[in-house]
Amino acid sequence: MTRASTSVQGLLRSPGTKLDDLFRRSRAGRIPVGDSDGTVILASGSALRAAAAKLAHLIVWKGKVFDAKTGTLRNKVGPLGTPAIAAKVYYGQSWYDAKQAIILDYSRTSRVARWIRDEIREVSPGVFLGMVYWGKRRILKFVLDFTRTK
């Protein structure tokens, strides 16, 4: 994929199979630090994907803030992006392809999201593609963009 196709807009336009392939081909990268702008990728392959992502960003989830000192993150939730729902952050084996990924583990940090596990990999400088698991079932994808928040 080109640099343009690994931008947030490019990823939103990509079919689910291409996103899966990009995740498979990407390396974990460095564990990110600081504030990210998040985009949920819903309705895979649908014309409604961009609208759904925008609506989710406005109302539900705005991204994540990573804290290198504690090895944790907090999600930015709700219309105001309130920091909530913590996760431990570490390198581990991906459930998707058994290669190294950055794991965002909510099992010991959140009652609300204890069944959730995210895996991210850097697909271009400062842009991470993520997969969300509920238990062992993959339920959606997302993008974290650290280039827009600097």
For the cut 60, the answer to whether the pLDDT of residue 46 exceeds it is: yes
The closest alpha carbon to 9, from 43, 49, 36, belongs to 49
Residues of the chain with pLDDT > 90, as a percent, come to 79
Query: What was the pLDDT predicted at 3?
Result: 55
For the cut 80, the answer to whether the pLDDT of residue 39 exceeds it is: yes
Query: What was the pLDDT predicted at 4?
Result: 55
Residue 115: pLDDT band with limits 50, 70, 90: very high
Rounded Cα gap, residues 73 and 86, in angstroms:
5
Query: What was the pLDDT predicted at 53?
Result: 87
For the cut 60, the answer to whether the pLDDT of residue 149 exceeds it is: no
Q: How many residues does the chain have?
A: 150
Asked if 31 and 104 touch (Cβ cutoff 8 Å), the reply is no
Tell me the per-residue pLDDT of 95-105, one tens digit each, with 9 for 90 and over. 999 999 999 99
For the cut 60, the answer to whether the pLDDT of residue 1 exceeds it is: no
Rounded Cα gap, residues 89 and 112, in angstroms:
17
Query: What was the pLDDT predicted at 5?
Result: 78
Rounded Cα gap, residues 94 and 138, in angstroms:
12
Question: Where is pLDDT greater, at 3 or 83?
Answer: 83
Q: Examine residue 112 and state whether it is found in any structural domain, yes or no.
A: yes
- Which residue range forms the structural domain that includes residue 10? 4-145
Q: Examine residue 80 and state whether it is found in any structural domain, yes or no.
A: yes
* Amino acid at position 51, single letter: A
For the cut 90, the answer to whether the pLDDT of residue 123 exceeds it is: yes
For the cut 70, the answer to whether the pLDDT of residue 80 exceeds it is: yes
Mean pLDDT of the chain: 93
Q: Examine residue 150 and state whether it is found in any structural domain, yes or no.
A: no
Q: Examine residue 20 and state whether it is found in any structural domain, yes or no.
A: yes
Residue 66 burial by Cβ neighbours in a 10 Å radius (0-12, 13-18, 19+): buried
Asked if 22 and 129 touch (Cβ cutoff 8 Å), the reply is yes
Q: Examine residue 104 and state whether it is found in any structural domain, yes or no.
A: yes
Helix/strand/coil (H/E/C) assignment for every residue in 125-136:
CCEEEEEEEECC
Query: Total structural domains in the chain?
Result: 1
The closest alpha carbon to 12, from 60, 61, 62, 47, belongs to 47
For the cut 70, the answer to whether the pLDDT of residue 20 exceeds it is: yes
Terminal CA-CA length for the chain: 24
For 40, phi then psi, to 5°, come to -80, 135
